Chain A
């Protein structure tokens, strides 16, 4: 179990003990869903606590390699897909994402690929995710699109993605996606998250 630290091991055992506590299932399956689903209670909590929300408020553990900025754990996660691309397309995608990160220092990145380039993606400080390429799919052809759809839902949910940008086989970021990404930092500053030093030079490819 290389890489598993002992305090995590202890937390895991504690969680397992809690799950075995009498009444655990009643709380998990009964009480909590009722609390979450209670619109009056939700409204009251908002009125009383006015919880901060929006860009740059929530802290989340996620890789932010190469982003030497304060509060990198508050940055949103953006997932990019580059599917059906050749090596040159993947390289263009990596260059485009790296440039956007360097310029904005405003997001953490996932790149979804369908080629054996996982290490190359990681070398750019970007989390790699993978879908089986269409040419390698051995189920029914019709099922492939459904599979990719399911996998993208998983990417969005699993990484709590703030925006999903499809780069296409050419590996280029669309003008509208670029417009949105370049606006993140300004939106974060207005919601109270720390901005990087004067220039975005804190970001390294």
Chain B
């Protein structure tokens, strides 16, 4: 955690507790592009929050409902009490909440600091007819910031047509910041030679070809492609003879050049990182999410010729899909790069900085 001091206006970045690192990563994408003279501070419900210290950002942790096992009513009391304390202690010029479900109590915290401008950072692509009642909470905020989605034309969710500051797709790193293949492999501790695939499909059984992860690994192995996974639990299932590597690095996006191809779910961050950074990808969207419409996102990308998409690999089509990825993946990735509108994170940071400096002047 950074021991930042001084009287610089605070930009308080609050992340909800989604699966994975999505919310934190997006907030870091904004934070990295804030001008000097502002003091970012992260409050997160994610146990992965210490990772933000990599970027020299101060952080604190607030246990989520899931982490405590508490019931909703009791946890909301805790959340409200903690957030009010944080806001009154820091008196932020801007508070940015990244999530699709602003928790009760956030409104109380915002109201407790009249000088604070509040921003709801809210990605789109919600599943149709889901979560629309959350949109009423826009009244808690001074502005809504919507990180763009390359598949926005396929969006059928409740946020379509609502008022928001819309920026381009947001990724933590830009292509110019990424390492070259050899350096990336060295940084991740991977073999210098030979084809490697990043497989990022959530939890699974590597030895069961009726499982998405198992089917992907089997099909890649059959073509002599080494497999890299990000979950220790999956890597531990590998037999000694398997060419399976565990990669643990944040942000892995800066080393995507280590991989020749990827098979991945279509969550906001990995989807945009892979397309914006040129990694040939076969998307297998996770349709079990409560809100994120990964199917629409991945199918749109496939229809545009930016990537491949399969609803499942476990039904027997894995080998054909992997063969198509190995043969045509690079040209699809080139097409995605050509369609890249640029990183929206800088525009988002500009909006936050303007609000912060405006708030500090008041």
> CA of A159 to CA of B82 in the docked complex: distance in angstroms?
12
- The one of B17, B67, B89 that contacts A122, using a Cβ cutoff of 8 Å: B67
- Interface residues of B, count at CB 8 A: 44
Given contacts A2-B291, A118-B47, A147-B89, contact A135 B3 (CB under 8 A): yes
Residue B48 interfacial (CB < 8 Å): yes
* A139 & B89 in contact (Cβ 8 Å cutoff): yes
* B1 & A130 in contact (Cβ 8 Å cutoff): no
* B3 & A136 in contact (Cβ 8 Å cutoff): yes
Shortest CB-to-CB span from A74 to chain B, Å, is 14
Residue A132 interfacial (CB < 8 Å): yes
* B82 & A118 in contact (Cβ 8 Å cutoff): no
> CA of A4 to CA of B128 in the docked complex: distance in angstroms?
16
Residue B362 interfacial (CB < 8 Å): no
Residue B37 interfacial (CB < 8 Å): no
Interface residues of A in 97-155 (CB under 8 A from B): 116, 118-119, 122, 127-133, 135-139, 147, 150-151, 154
- The one of B61, B69, B82 that contacts A64, using a Cβ cutoff of 8 Å: B69
- The one of A62, A131, A133 that contacts B68, using a Cβ cutoff of 8 Å: A62
User: Which of A6-14, A27-35, A187-195, A196-204 is near enough to bind chain B?
Assistant: A6-14
Chain B residues with CB under 8 A of A122: 47, 67
* A119 & B47 in contact (Cβ 8 Å cutoff): yes
* B50 & A116 in contact (Cβ 8 Å cutoff): yes
> Chain B's interface: helix, strand, loop or mixed, by majority?
loop
* B67 & A154 in contact (Cβ 8 Å cutoff): no
Residue B193 interfacial (CB < 8 Å): no
Given contacts A2-B18, A150-B85, A154-B85, contact A62 B69 (CB under 8 A): yes
Shortest CB-to-CB span from B52 to chain A, Å, is 10
* B61 & A3 in contact (Cβ 8 Å cutoff): no
Shortest CB-to-CB span from B137 to chain A, Å, is 11
- How many A-B residue pairs have C-beta atoms within 8 angstroms? Tell me: 100
> CA of A32 to CA of B77 in the docked complex: distance in angstroms?
18
Residue B180 interfacial (CB < 8 Å): no
> CA of A120 to CA of B240 in the docked complex: distance in angstroms?
27
Residue B222 interfacial (CB < 8 Å): no
* A136 & B133 in contact (Cβ 8 Å cutoff): no
Chain B residues with CB under 8 A of A2: 17-19, 289-292
> CA of A60 to CA of B69 in the docked complex: distance in angstroms?
10
Shortest CB-to-CB span from B231 to chain A, Å, is 13
Residue B239 interfacial (CB < 8 Å): no
Shortest CB-to-CB span from B348 to chain A, Å, is 21
Given contacts A2-B291, A116-B50, A138-B4, contact A158 B69 (CB under 8 A): no
Chain A residues with CB under 8 A of B99: 1
Residue B74 interfacial (CB < 8 Å): yes
Interface residues of B in 28-86 (CB under 8 A from A): 47-50, 53, 58, 60-63, 66-72, 74, 77-78, 81-82, 85
* B63 & A127 in contact (Cβ 8 Å cutoff): yes
Instruction: Bin chain A's interface residue count.
Output: 35 or more
Given contacts A118-B47, A138-B4, A158-B81, contact A11 B72 (CB under 8 A): yes
Residue A61 interfacial (CB < 8 Å): yes
Identify the interface centre among A1, A8, A11, A60: most chain B CB within 10 Å of its CB.
Answer: A1
* A3 & B66 in contact (Cβ 8 Å cutoff): yes
> CA of A137 to CA of B5 in the docked complex: distance in angstroms?
9
* A1 & B58 in contact (Cβ 8 Å cutoff): no
Given contacts A1-B101, A3-B18, A119-B47, contact A132 B290 (CB under 8 A): no
Given contacts A2-B290, A158-B81, contact A132 B1 (CB under 8 A): yes
Chain A residues with CB under 8 A of B74: 60-61, 158, 160
Beyond A128-B67, A159-B78, 9 additional contacts (C-beta under 8 Å) are A1-B290, A2-B292, A62-B70, A63-B68, A118-B47, A118-B50, A118-B61, A128-B63, A151-B85
Sample of 25 A–B contacts (CB below 8 Å): A1-B100, A2-B291, A3-B19, A3-B66, A4-B101, A5-B290, A61-B70, A61-B74, A63-B67, A116-B53, A118-B47, A118-B49, A118-B50, A119-B47, A127-B68, A128-B47, A128-B67, A129-B63, A132-B1, A136-B2, A137-B3, A138-B6, A157-B81, A158-B74, A159-B68
Q: 9 closest A-B pairs (Cβ-Cβ)?
A: A116-B50, A63-B69, A1-B101, A158-B78, A130-B61, A136-B1, A118-B47, A61-B71, A2-B18
Chain A residues in contact with chain B, CB under 8 A?
1-6, 8, 11-13, 60-64, 116, 118-119, 122, 127-133, 135-139, 147, 150-151, 154, 157-160
